[in-house]
Structure 1
């Protein structure tokens, strides 16, 4: 049975597994950023004390919202009306309670284990060029273990979606893939950051061809993984290892390849980009929603592109109601409806 047939046979539930994190968003200058780190873009793991020190160096107002790559995608999928579950670990604190509440409001079923360790936080610095640089204290989210992965929810899922960040803990990343395969679910993985690939290249080159059905990457991640800066060569290399490969190219749109078929998806055009936080995550939300709804691949890609674009028009990884309404008017049938949300 081909990949799309496997999804059809299992239904429409999507299980996301990832880090339960709260985003602290701030718009500031390159000067402030470089006063904290010489790394621009990507994600850097930091201690809680370092993060607190960073916050003292950033005088601008800050916005606090739920985050985490897989979580952002799963919340977006739920807002599109999808059947969505998120699995992770939070602290037993106000930050963790607010995180769980936000999932329920978005229409996501939270499956969260807890820890005495404080909940994870991410400082996302957005510079004038709309690029974001993330400094992450994983906290309780990093304590998710293979024992916390409830097989019940893997067995119900059509697609298990995981963020590449989980491979900062190789045992956990592999456990997610093994449980998904044992359950018979289709496995989708977003590489999430070029720093993920640089941290464990040999491991990823071993497990992706063996376990992953759908591989999603942006240009930097694809280059780090395949060694190719040319998009065509990078996509070809990715597609040689998995059933379906996606290469996101920002303002150049995206490219999809499955077997011998390929699709070029245009980027959405409109008002200026304010912040790229969550762009890839919401792209994945739209794409996975289209897949489980069994839409033609081009329609899946176009919905993904619209979701990725709408989140770039605001600060943070939450599309506002006006954005969701525009998406619904373009892509959802009259009988479909967006799930309610307090976002």
Structure 2
């Protein structure tokens, strides 16, 4: 018997639109994204990537004028996608937003976003897209500044290069956070960024007062490379319960250590975090919890169109496994299925058809299949 996709589509942010919530009324998973972000995702030829600042494959911040220049150049470098009339997508984005949207849409887990967005067209798009899937936006502050944007450039092989523009964007500040923001949540999802370090630290302090577990994504190899010391201080604080790193971020994390490589990075993270996960692209992932270490293969890499959101959706599946109390290997298995689902189309939002693909993969592997919307 097939599994049907039922998105939590209520088109609003009322209490009834949020799906199942924990007893205290808050979402189980709360994502901190200080600045709401809109992604412009396009598949482009290599020549455009060679013309913009920063290394290919990473996430390098740009000023507003540079963002406008890149967007103006996209149309002359765009590649048409097979079986997809849309060569460019504009959707709510950001790593944390991708993760919580995936949890709400594909897994039926109650989620919320804590942050700020601008009272502009981009802000309205962010709100519309996230609330379509029942993500709780009651902690999203509306401000007069503009909403942050990011250009996600995807090459012929599906590798993505990101250029976010966060200057002058609407952003929640550390002194605006309250303990009430974190009540009822089981997990707080964070993404490392030096520009958000003050709010990250404030959020961790308040969340821990409420007994909330903390997850940290290492964001990008450039961020780890340039701001490794503050990251190490975060990890060594003992407040990070779960850490996700991809292979490039892992390499930067242990570059000054005696031993290097993904396994060394996993051991390094596991010294400070209860759960440590290193994703390895086509080679799957490795994870550690306590004394248990597992290695799980990737799923769906042969059909990769765009790697945007692969790590974010992996996290969605992994969180689903944790919420359901699954063993570590099965948490990684669900993560591999959900990470594989998003790379089959453009952008960090999984299509209904690709959720169906994921459910079938989970059934085949004997993993518990969610029934969102039921």
Pair in the same fold by TM > 0.5: yes
Question: Any unmatched runs of 5+ in structure 2?
Answer: 1-21, 79-86
Q: 1:76 aligns with which of 71, 77, 102?
A: 102
Q: 1:173 to 1:333 in 2, by over 3 A?
A: closer
Deviation at 1:142, TM superposition (A): 5.8
Shifted more, 33-42 versus 142-151: the winner is 142-151
Q: Within 1, Cα distance between the matches of 2:101 and 2:252?
A: 28
Asked if 1:248 corresponds to 2:248, the answer is: no
Q: Deviations over 1:9-61 (max 9, x none)?
A: 99980111114110001111111111123520111111111100111222235
Contact 1:78 1:339 in 2 (8 A): no
SS at match of 1:44: coil
Q: 1:57 to 1:269 in 2, by over 3 A?
A: closer
Shifted more, 256-265 versus 169-178: the winner is 169-178
Q: 1:34 to 1:238 in 2, by over 3 A?
A: same
Contact 1:117 1:139 in 2 (8 A): no
Question: Any unmatched runs of 5+ in structure 1?
Answer: 1-7
TM-score, structure 1 normalization:
0.91
Q: Within 1, Cα distance between the matches of 2:61 and 2:214?
A: 26
Deviation at 1:147, TM superposition (A): 2.7
Q: Which residue number in structure 1 is paired with residue 175 of structure 2?
A: 147
Q: Within 2, Cα distance between the matches of 1:307 and 1:9?
A: 27
User: Runs ≥4 in structure 1, deviation > 3 angstroms?
Assistant: 8-12, 139-142, 331-334
Contact 2:313 2:339 in 1 (8 A): yes
Deviation at 1:327, TM superposition (A): 2.4
Deviation at 1:288, TM superposition (A): 0.7
Q: 2:149 aligns with which of 109, 121, 138?
A: 121
SS at match of 2:345: coil
Contact 1:328 1:337 in 2 (8 A): no
Q: Which residue number in structure 1 is paired with residue 331 of structure 2?
A: 300
CA-based RMSD of the aligned residues comes to: 2.2
More helix by share: 1
Asked if 1:267 corresponds to 2:295, the answer is: no
Q: 1:139 to 1:337 in 2, by over 3 A?
A: farther
Asked if 1:156 corresponds to 2:184, the answer is: yes
Q: Deviations over 1:66-105 (max 9, x none)?
A: 1010000000011111011111111011110121121111
Q: 1:93 aligns with which of 116, 120, 123?
A: 120
Deviation at 1:151, TM superposition (A): 2.1
SS at match of 1:169: helix
Contact 2:118 2:143 in 1 (8 A): yes
Q: 1:292 to 1:255 in 2, by over 3 A?
A: same
Q: Which residue number in structure 2 is paired with residue 339 of structure 1?
A: 373
